[in-house]
C-alpha cells in the first residue's frame, strides 16, 4: 500500500494533537477490499475464537462485563445481517492474519515520522474491527494503547472524557486496571456527562483517542464498520508501569503522586516496577 491514507491536512491536525489531545481526522480507506462484509466474515472465521467479542447492541453506557447478555446469532450471521441483528462484533488483533498484518503496518507506517520522535518506537501494533448495528452502544471504558478509530461505513458518535480527571476515576482504578484487577468497562454516573466531548464521525472520518481517555460510543442510524489502529510506545508502557509501582507504594501505606502527563516520561517509577517484576520472575 503506497497511496496516501491520511491527507496532508489530517497529518497536520494529528501532529498538533498527538499524543495527548482527541482530534477529528480524515482518511482514504473507503472501499478497501479487506473491509468489505464478506472479507470480514472470512476474517472472523480465520481468527481464534478468543479474539472475537460478540455483544447485543442495546447496552447501557455503563455495564459490568458479567451483566452483558449473550447474542443468539453466530458471528458470521451477525456480520452478514448487521443491519437488523441488533448487535456489535469486534474482531480483535486482526494482524494475526497475514493480509491484515500487512494492511495495518502499511497504515501505521504513514504516521511513524510524527509518532516516534515524541513517544518512541511504535510497538505492539494491533488492529480491531467493529461491525455494529444501528444504534448499538459500546459501553464506557478506557484503553492502554494509542488509538485512531477510522470510520469505514455508517456513522457514530464517540464521547471522550479527560484522561487525568481523578474526580471521575481515582488513581487506584488506573492502578488496578494495569494489574489486571479491573475490567476495561468503567462505572458510569450521570454527573459525568457534562465532562464529555462528543465527536461525530461518518465514513471517511476518524478520531485520535489518547491513551486511557475514557469514552463511550453510539452508532448512528445505519450499520457501521470501524477500524481501530493501535500501538504502544515507550511513553505508554512507562505510564502503565508507573501506575503499577504506585500500587506497590500504596500497599505499604504511602500516597504516591500519579504519573505525570505527557511530555513527562515517568521513567523512575517505571524502572522500579520493571525491577520488581524481574525479581519476582527470578524467585
pLDDT digits (tens, 9 = 90+) for 123-155: 999 999 999 999 988 889 999 999 999 999 999
One domain, residues 194 and 267: no
Residue 115 to residues 18, 27, 72, 98, 266, Cα–Cα distance (Å): 7, 17, 42, 24, 18
Structure confidence by residue, pLDDT tens digits, 233-277: 999 999 999 999 999 999 999 999 999 989 889 999 999 999 999
Amino acid 42: pLDDT: 97
Amino acid 88: pLDDT: 87
pTM of the entire predicted model: 0.91
- The answer, yes or no, to whether residue 66 has pLDDT greater than 90, is no
The three state secondary structure string of the chain is CCCCCCCHHHHHHHHHHCCCCCEEEECCCCCCHHHCHHHHHHHHHHCCHHHEEEEECCCCCCCCHHHCCCCCCCHHHHHHCCCCCCEEEEECCHHHCHHHHHHHHHHHHCCHHHHHHHHCCCEEEEEEEEEECCCCEEEEECCCCEEEEEEEECEEEEEECCCCCCCCCCHHHHHHHHCCCCCCECCCCHHHHHHCEEEEEECCEEEEECCCCCEEEEECCCCEEEEEEEEECHHHHHHHHHHHHHHHHHHCCCCCCCCCCCCCCCHHHHHHHHHHHHHHHHC
- The answer, yes or no, to whether residue 281 has pLDDT greater than 90, is no
Domain that includes residue 278, residue range = 237-282
Structure confidence by residue, pLDDT tens digits, 237-248: 999 999 999 999
- The answer, yes or no, to whether residue 206 has pLDDT greater than 60, is yes
Is 23 domain-assigned? yes
Amino acid 228: pLDDT: 98
**Spatial distance between the Cα atoms of 171 and 178, rounded to a whole number of angstroms:** 11
Quick one: average pLDDT of 152-176?
92
Number of domains, the chain: 2
One domain, residues 98 and 155: yes
Is 2 domain-assigned? no
Model confidence band, residue 279 (pLDDT cutoffs 50, 70, 90): confident
Is 3 domain-assigned? no
- The answer, yes or no, to whether residue 70 has pLDDT greater than 70, is no
Structure confidence by residue, pLDDT tens digits, 169-190: 888 888 888 888 866 788 899 9
One domain, residues 85 and 186: yes
- CATH number, domain with residue 126: 2.60.120.650
Is 175 domain-assigned? no
Query: Domain boundary residue among 232, 252, 271?
Result: 232
One domain, residues 127 and 244: no
Amino acid at each position: 500500500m503506497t497511496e496516501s491514507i491520511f491527507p496532508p491536512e489530517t497529518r497536520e491536525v494529528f501532529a498538533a494533537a498527538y499524543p495527548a489531545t482527541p482530534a477529528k481526522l480524515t482518511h482514504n480507506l473507503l472501499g478497501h477490499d479487506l473491509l468489505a462484509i464478506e472479507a470480514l466474515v472470512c476474517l472472523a472465521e480465520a481468527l481464534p475464537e478468543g479474539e472475537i467479542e460478540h455483544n447485543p447492541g442495546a447496552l447501557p453506557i455503563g455495564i459490568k462485563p458479567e451483566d452483558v447478555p449473550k447474542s443468539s446469532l453466530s458471528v458470521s450471521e451477525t456480520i452478514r445481517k448487521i443491519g437488523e441483528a441488533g448487535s456489535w462484533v469486534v474482531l480483535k488483533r486482526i494482524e494475526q492474519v497475514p493480509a491484515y498484518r500487512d494492511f495495518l503496518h502499511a497504515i501505521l507506517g504513514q504516521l511513524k515520522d510524527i509518532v516516534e520522535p515524541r513517544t518512541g518506537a511504535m510497538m505492539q501494533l494491533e488492529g480491531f474491527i467493529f461491525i455494529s448495528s444501528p444504534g448499538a452502544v459500546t459501553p464506557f471504558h478506557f484503553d492502554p494503547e494509542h488509538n485512531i478509530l477510522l470510520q469505514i461505513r455508517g456513522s457514530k458518535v464517540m464521547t471522550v472524557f479527560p484522561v487525568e480527571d481523578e474526580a471521575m476515576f481515582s488513581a487506584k482504578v488506573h492502578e488496578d486496571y494495569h494489574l489486571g484487577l479491573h475490567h476495561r468497562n468503567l462505572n458510569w454516573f450521570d454527573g459525568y456527562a457534562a465532562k464529555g466531548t462528543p465527536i461525530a464521525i461518518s465514513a471517511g472520518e476518524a478520531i485520535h483517542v489518547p491513551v486511557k481517555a475514557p469514552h463511550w460510543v453510539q452508532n448512528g442510524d445505519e450499520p457501521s464498520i470501524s477500524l481501530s489502529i493501535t500501538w504502544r510506545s515507550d511513553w505508554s508502557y512507562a505510564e502503565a508501569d508507573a501506575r503499577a509501582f504506585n500500587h506497590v507504594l500504596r500497599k505499604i501505606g504511602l500516597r504516591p503522586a500519579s504519573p505525570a502527563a505527557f511530555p513527562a516520561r515517568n521513567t523512575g517509577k517505571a524502572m522500579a516496577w520493571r525491577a520488581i517484576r524481574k525479581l519476582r520472575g527470578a524467585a
